[in-house]
A and B are shown apart, each in its own frame.
Chain A
Amino acid sequence: MNDAARTKLDSRHWFGKTSAGVLLGYTLSLALSGVIAGLTRGGFEGGSGKIQFIMWMVAPLWAGVLGFVFLFRDSRSAWLWLALANVAAFGLLWALK
């Protein structure tokens, strides 16, 4: 983390970043929870216990994305990168299914 080498962050873009974290963060955690389900024992047919566990996974993933979304340079890059991450995660989910 070299202060001089990168543009300084500021709080101006809070609304764009927060909304990206809430909306795209939610879809991203949804897709990632599916990836976790697909990669672990039992897949998508793991029974009621696994279905509940996978539902629980959305909360930490969503909170994690929303927490780190403020590290993006501005709103545009937050939306852009999270959209790309969504495409990748849903692609992976589709491949696993």
Chain B
Amino acid sequence: MKIGSDIVKVYKDVHIWVGIVCGLMLFIAFYAGAITIFEKPLERWATPPSTLSPPPPLEDAEKLLAAVLAAHPQAAQRYSIVVNPVPDQPARVIWSERGARPRQQIEYGASFAADGSLQVEKLRKAQAAQMVDRMHQFVGLPLPDGIARYIMGAVALAYAVALLSGLIVLLPTLVTDVFALRIGKNIKRMWLDAHNALGIFSLPFHLVIALTSVVFAFHDPFYDSQAKALYGGQINWGEHEEAPTGSAPLPASQLLQQANAQLPGFEVYRFGFQRNRDGQLEASIVGLDVRRGARGRTYMQTHLDPFTGTIDTHDLPGHMDGWSESVNAFFALHFGSYGGNPVRWLYVLMGLAGAALFYTGNLLWVESRRRKQRGAATVEQKRSVRVLAVLTVGVALGCVAGLSTSIAAAKWLPSRVDDLMFWHEAIYYVVFFAAVGWALLRGAARSAGELLWLCALTTLLIPLSSLAGVWGIGGTWNHAGSAAIDLTALAAVPVLLLLARHSRRRMREGRADSVWSADMLPTVHATAKGALQSAD
């Protein structure tokens, strides 16, 4: 396709600047996002074992509920009956009470002890998966949610522009470049080919992620402006349905039978009950139909009449109107919450490939600005090039090491501290900023290999923490059936070590006129040492 060379030049500038400003934040969002795909197994892995006795059968849920309500009447406001208790939902009956902080809900679970007496436990919800999700949603920024969300939205919008501009730059040479991967002497060419191949083949995925993220960040302002411009000041969301009435709700075992008959293929996780403002009982059903996309990432939810067991299906995918079905698809396409585990693994790969896209983009920028050596004199690379190289290494690898360390800490924290989220975030940021500082101190070339070692070691801590849990060392634990997390982390270790070896080799044997060479001095010392060397 023929596009004027001036247009290509302008869009190349747009692409480069968006990349420089947003690339590293996008790396964090994609790497953390790839991990959040398996947030449920991760949460399960990270949840400390419950001290409750094994849950009574579903048929006895009402007996347990009656005992709970007798001892804790406030539980009647909001409780659930769990159909299939798992480590992160360890009780048959769970209820939540308002905490001290706004919107904080403290969850309690109940069971019967061997002697038939009521047991109650404050559920120790794991925060590791949520910490990874925070880094994903707020592109790793240590800022209040409200601010970070808008920055993320701006980054997503810029990223959509980067996709379009990258496409425009590539289009004129698309036919010759698309299947080419020229690995050889010309390093810039190789990175460009890799960057182009990643970009063009995953373009639809990236467009979906970029545009959905813009909506995730800005839906409130969008609705507010549309209320004014389109709907005469107020959005009419439709009538609120009347709460069902009846004397006593059906037992959960009967609700489950009804649900299985009405929704074949829908796996029920739990039934939720709550009192509305008028004190009427409202119920919901939470579960998953893996044949359909889930707007709620890991579950689907809809209303249910607790007195008859009739499910109001109009909020479930497959039963919605066309508009809602499309909106549901937008969510599902972002979360990869359709098609079960094969699609999830595909999203992990796409997420990691996305992170690689931003990483190669930065390398490309560094490589195209390299000052080549002519003759014997050593050349010094430009300050901007050194800084970007250092930040690329420090931020990207700091994110990897920080997430690994913080995830591994999930098994050691609950027996030591109360505010899990604070500690998860603190650990992440300490490792992250230490890595960035180390990169600044040691320069891109040396720190790349060293920080990759750090990434490998911290990632190895994840299965080691589970291994410690097998023997119960230091308050750790290990759930049966959680090995997939440990094995995945273990598989990442040799990959990171291989990358570390590769970086070290390039530092020693690669060209000297490059930021990746050991001769290239760290940023902060470069000027002073450069002056010393020239005096020699």
Contact = CB atoms under 8 A, between A and B. Distances in A.
Interface of A: 1, 3, 6, 8-11, 14, 26, 30-31, 33-34, 37, 44-56, 58-60, 62-64, 66-68, 70-71, 90, 93, 97
A48 B215 contact: no
A93 B238 contact: no
A59 B223 CA distance: 12
Contact of B215 (A56, A71, A93): A56
A55 B215 contact: yes
B321 A63 contact: no
Contacts of A8: 4, 6
B321 A47 contact: yes
B222 interface: yes
Nearest to B216: A59
A49 to B, nearest CB: 3
Interface string B8-21: 01110110010000
Contact of A48 (B4, B210, B218, B238): B238
Given A49-B324, A51-B235, A10 B230 contact: no
B285 to A, nearest CB: 19
Main secondary structure of the interface of A (DSSP, over half): helix
Contact of B4 (A9, A54, A60, A64): A9
B7 interface: yes
A45 B238 CA distance: 9
Interface residues of B, number: 44
Contacts, number: 115
B6 A3 contact: yes
A63 B161 contact: yes
B157 A44 contact: no
Contacts of B226: 30, 33-34, 51, 54-55, 58
B326 interface: yes
B321 A49 contact: yes
Interface in B262-277: none
Nearest to A90: B229
Contacts of B230: 30, 33-34, 37, 44, 54, 93, 97
Contacts of B215: 55-56, 58-59
B490 interface: no
A67 B165 contact: yes
B237 interface: yes
Contacts of B225: 26, 30
A62 B10 CA distance: 20
Contact of B238 (A26, A33, A47, A60): A47
A64 B164 CA distance: 8
Contact of B210 (A31, A58, A63, A93): A63
B237 A3 contact: no
B236 interface: yes
A11 B327 contact: no
B168 to A, nearest CB: 9
A52 B295 CA distance: 13
B211 interface: yes
A53 B223 CA distance: 11
Given A45-B236, A66-B161, A70-B10, A30 B229 contact: yes
B106 interface: no
B26 to A, nearest CB: 15
Contacts of B238: 47-48
B160 A67 contact: yes
Given A44-B230, A93-B230, A49 B323 contact: yes
B215 to A, nearest CB: 5
Given A1-B4, A58-B222, A59-B211, A53 B160 contact: no
